[in-house]
Copies of this chain bind each other. A is one copy, B any other.
């Protein structure tokens, strides 16, 4: 049976948090368990450098933190090939060839990139590396003959861009060596930050990390945004936009209990302290084994696993690169 290749990854710009856990890690663990899939997980340091090249240590120092997070949540290097992007130089070479198959106006029109450029304040001074990261992603996707790419809704234009390059390459050289990828749109939206902002992230300092101490978790839960009009315990409270309930929905294992809590809160008579205690207990239970498992790996073990699996990823990428070179005709010495 041919396995379908699934590629996911993270930009290493800090430890992983609960947003990553519900947004992608759980999904990866599920996919890894199915025998029909061959999973690759990329630690995208080269991509992260495109908007962090002035502080590379932020990226390079996060690589092993993220690897530790992966293993702690249960990504199994026996089943999933975890690799570091920069250590597969074939990806850079594919990127250079693919740059010929995309026009500047097409890159500038990419909605995902446009939004990110605005967020980063890059509009007037766009680093070319950042503008080109969708081409680098095409190299990542095609190098492993990826068929499925789990993505958020907002990343769909990146898969479209990749498939466009694939089609144009295949058409130009009358070949089918490159494969189009199918996006697997995740049902879970982004996890909000503890402050109620749209996205939990390290830079906004509003995320609960998988590696947070019990005290940090408790402090962050008790700092969560709830309903500003819910002043007295007896007041009716709002559940929509209330971060505690958003997190209970995402992490509490008993849906019925959460529904009952919501009803009481909306009716009046359930205080913020009480629901925060419940959420705190939920998250402590979830994160304790992950935090403990994080400590069971030595740096050398992480290093060995990463080196072995990056080497395995490289062999696959080398083969694809060889096919691409041969297709273009860049083979001079036999």
Please measure, in the bound complex, the distance between the C-alpha atom of A54 and the C-alpha atom of B169, giving whole angstroms: 9
Q: Is the CB of B89 within 8 A of A102?
A: no
Please tell me if A136 contacts chain B, counting CB pairs below 8 Å. yes
Residues of chain B lying within 8 A (CB to CB) of residue A313: none
- Which residues of B are found within 8 Å of A172, using beta-carbon distances? 53-54
What range describes how many residues of A lie at the interface? Answer: 35 or more
Asked whether, in the complex, the Cβ of B89 is within 8 Å of the Cβ of A89, the reply is: yes
User: Is A86 close to B, CB under 8 A?
Assistant: yes
> Is the Cβ of A129 less than 8 Å from the Cβ of B328?
no
Encode A112-126 as 1/0 by CB contact (under 8 A) with B.
000000000000111
**Which residues of B sit under 8 angstroms from A86, Cβ to Cβ?**
325, 330
Report A217 CB to chain B, min CB distance, Å: 30
Asked if B92 and A104 sit within 8 Å, CB to CB, the answer is: no
Tell me if A282 counts as interface (CB < 8 A to partner B): no
Give the docked Cα–Cα distance between A172 and B55 (Å).
9
In chain A, residues 8-50, which have Cβ atoms closer than 8 Å to a Cβ of chain B?
A: 45-46, 49-50
Q: Which of A168-191 contact B (CB under 8 A)?
A: 172-173
Q: Which residues of B contact A124 (CB under 8 A)?
A: 105
Please tell me if A303 contacts chain B, counting CB pairs below 8 Å.
yes
Set of chain B residues within 8 Å of A329, measured between Cβ atoms: 56-57, 59-60
Is A132 part of the contact surface with B, judged by Cβ < 8 Å?
yes
A283 lies within 8 A of chain B by Cβ: no
* Given contacts A53-B172, A89-B93, A93-B93, A129 and B330 within 8 Å (CB-CB): no
Q: A126 — which chain B residues lie within 8 A by C-beta?
A: 103-105
Chain B residues near A229 (CB-CB < 8 A): none
Within 8 A of B (CB), among A76-121: 84, 86-87, 89-90, 92-93, 95-97, 99-105, 107
Is there a chain B Cβ closer than 8 Å to A210's Cβ? no
Given A332-B303, A332-B306, A99 contacting B132 (CB threshold 8 A): yes
In this assembly, does A200 line the interface, its C-beta being within 8 Å of a C-beta of chain B? no
A298 CB to closest chain B CB (Å) equals 14
Q: Which residues of B contact A107 (CB under 8 A)?
A: 128
A46:B96 contact, CB within 8 angstroms: yes
Is the beta-carbon distance between B96 and A125 smaller than 8 angstroms?
no
Contacts of A57 in B (CB 8 A): 329
Known: A92-B93, A333-B303. A103 touches B84 (CB 8 A): no
A307 within 8 A of B: yes
Cβ contact of A127, chosen from B103, B129, B136, cutoff 8 A: B103
Given known A-B contacts A45-B330, A54-B172, A89-B93, A129 and B99 have beta carbons under 8 A apart: yes
Chain B CB within 8 A of A130 CB: yes
Closest to A46 in B: B96
